[in-house]
């Protein structure tokens, strides 16, 4: 884990701690960072909607993997 020193306005930090239910400043910031990463990854996946083409049926997707034997 890396250490970083970040200066944040106390009112924002207090509000963040209340919103995420964190007991410490570190927990609040870690939760916020993880949530932001998750949201951005989800947005990228949503942006790909309609850009991928599947040529298999749902049945083939479920049972058609020959690697499973």
- Taking the CA atoms of residue 10, residue 14, residue 16 and residue 21 in that order, the dihedral angle to the nearest 10 degrees is 150
pTM above 0.85, yes or no: no
Sequence length of the chain is: 69
Closest CA to 2 of 42, 37, 36, 33: 33
For every one of its 69 residues, what pLDDT tens digit does the chain have, with 9 covering 90 and above? 899 999 999 999 999 999 999 999 999 999 999 999 999 999 988 888 777 777 778 777 777 666 665
* DSSP code of residue 31: H
């Amino acid at each position: 884990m890396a250490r970083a020193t970040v200066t944040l306005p106390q009112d924002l930090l207090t509000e963040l701690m209340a919103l995420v239910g964190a007991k410490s400043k570190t927990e609040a910031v870690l939760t916020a960072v993880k949530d932001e990463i998750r949201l951005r990854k989800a947005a990228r996946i949503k942006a790909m909607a309609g850009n991928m083409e599947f040529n298999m049926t749902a049945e083939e997707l479920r049972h058609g993997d020959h690697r499973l034997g």
